[in-house]
Amino acid sequence: MHDYLVSILIPFKDSEPFFEECIESILGQSYTQWQVLAVNDRSQDQSLARVKAYAKKDPRIKVFENQGKGIIEALRTAYSESNGNLITRMDSDDIMTPNRLRVMVDALRHKGKGHLAVGQVKYFSHRGISNGYKRYEKWINTLIECGTNYSEIYKECVIPSPCWMAFREDLDTCGAFDSNRYPEDYDLTFRFYENALQCIPCQQVLHYWRDYDTRTSRTSVHYAQNYFLDIKLHYFLKLDYDRNRPLVVWGAGTKGKDIAKGLRKKNVPFYWLCDNPKKIGKKIYGFPMLHYSELEKLTAPQSIITVANQEAQREIRQYLAHLDQKESRDYFFFC
């Protein structure tokens, strides 16, 4: 049976404490037809020396300097040096399970092009995992188990950045790493969605995701909440917004206000709803706050829901179901 070559793209910067464990987990893969394209993004520690030592012992490991600056440029550098049939990412501080590549390759071999292999993830940390990360892990794994990742794409990034695999041709169709928009993993996820790559369900944990105080997603300005909201609004208006239908924003909290400002900046008209009696009837940014029951007066509205409270979300779902509205068609949760 033909074995595909898997190109593993690894941008790294100051990963010395964890890099060896990452590389060892790749060396221990049951699937051996792989190449590592490790790209140094101006490390100040001994990360580069560590991976170069491995490269001397194993020709499948190749090391490069970033041709630009930052993770997007590092990914472009790695991708330009790769020649695998299948492409995957890996974070230099994480760990693969021994069967990760085998499971993903087999899934793509069975399903063929037009599909995206994903795997369940498990967070770990020397200090324990916060409730927030536990909730995210449970949420994303539930989606991965059923292959329904895109159903909640406007809530959070629904594809774990270091645990997906795609055919090179499909990745190229999606624009690979050409985009300059951060967070780069969320942007790529939306492009997978835009190009209808089907997520293959997976019932196994294939990736151990390390959490610590200095990880990039915690420290870089590119992963601040406003960047996530900008991406959500950009792709919603591009992919799911129907300009022939009235647009509604639910909620007047911080996220609701940010979405309202974004829509106003883009000159997109909308109605603004809430259930807070102190805000109903008042104007925010020039828009009157309306009681949510005003929705029933609109013809075929689309709603962006920015209410984060879980009980309130359940009540909103019940109300919209009563109006025969469908999620991902008539309403979209942005948190």
The mean per-residue pLDDT over the stretch 237-252 comes to: 97
Q: Say if residue 254's pLDDT is above 70.
A: yes
- In this structure, how many other beta carbons lie within 10 angstroms of the beta carbon of residue 198? 13
The pLDDT value recorded for residue 216 is 57
Q: What is the pLDDT of residues 278-314, one digit of tens each?
A: 999 999 999 999 999 999 999 999 999 999 999 999 9
The pLDDT value recorded for residue 3 is 87
Contacts of 291 (CB under 8 A, 6+ apart): 273, 274, 275, 280
The pLDDT value recorded for residue 321 is 97
The pLDDT value recorded for residue 222 is 45
| Beta-bridge partner residues of 165 | 88, 117
Q: What is the pLDDT of residues 121-146, one digit of tens each?
A: 999 987 777 888 899 999 999 999 99
The pLDDT value recorded for residue 214 is 53
The mean per-residue pLDDT over the stretch 29-48 comes to: 97
The mean per-residue pLDDT over the stretch 86-90 comes to: 98
In terms of Cα–Cα distance, which of 199, 227, 211 is closest to 140?
199
- How far is residue 13's CA from residue 309's CA, in Å, rounded to a whole number? 37
- Are 292 and 273 contacting, i.e. CB atoms less than 8 angstroms apart? yes
Q: Say if residue 224's pLDDT is above 60.
A: no
**Domains of the chain, start order:** 6-223 (3.90.550.10), 242-333 (3.40.50.20)
Q: Say if residue 79's pLDDT is above 70.
A: yes
Give the three-class secondary structure for 39: strand
The mean per-residue pLDDT over the stretch 245-255 comes to: 96
- Are 188 and 79 contacting, i.e. CB atoms less than 8 angstroms apart? no
The mean per-residue pLDDT over the stretch 97-119 comes to: 98
Q: What is the pLDDT of residues 169-200, one digit of tens each?
A: 999 999 999 999 999 999 999 999 999 999 99
The pLDDT value recorded for residue 211 is 87
The pLDDT value recorded for residue 18 is 95
Percent of the chain whose pLDDT exceeds 70: 95
Q: Characterize the bridge pairing of strands 120-124 and 205-210.
A: parallel
Average of per-residue pLDDT values in the chain = 94
Q: Write the DSSP symbol of residue 327.
A: B
Q: Say if residue 223's pLDDT is above 90.
A: no
Chain-centre distance of CA 175, in angstroms?
15
